Amino acid sequence: QSVLTQPPSASGTPGQRVTISCSGSSSNIGSNTVNWYQQLPGTAPKLLIYSNNQRPSGVPDRFSGSKSGTSASLAISGLQSEDEAVYYCAAWDDSLNGSGVFGGGTKLTVL
- Give residues in contact with other proteins (CB under 8 A): 2, 32-33, 35, 37, 39, 44-47, 50-51, 56, 88, 90-92, 96-105
- Determine the Cα–Cα distance for residues 83 and 75; give it in Å rounded to an integer: 12
Q: Which C-beta is closer to other proteins: that of 63 or that of 92?
A: 92
Q: Which C-beta is closer to other proteins: that of 35 or that of 79?
A: 35
Minimum separation from the CB atom of position 47 to other proteins (A)? 5
Minimum separation from the CB atom of position 69 to other proteins (A)? 18
Buried b (16+ CB within 10 A) or exposed e, 58-86: ebeeebbbebeebbbbbebeebeeebbbb
Between the CA of residue 10 and those of 58, 90, 91, 95, what are the distances in Å? 24, 18, 21, 30
- Determine the Cα–Cα distance for residues 85 and 62; give it in Å rounded to an integer: 15
Distance of CA 66 to the CA centre of its chain: 10
Q: Which C-beta is closer to other proteins: that of 76 or that of 91?
A: 91
Minimum separation from the CB atom of position 14 to other proteins (A)? 27
Q: Which C-beta is closer to other proteins: that of 47 or that of 75?
A: 47
Minimum separation from the CB atom of position 84 to other proteins (A)? 17
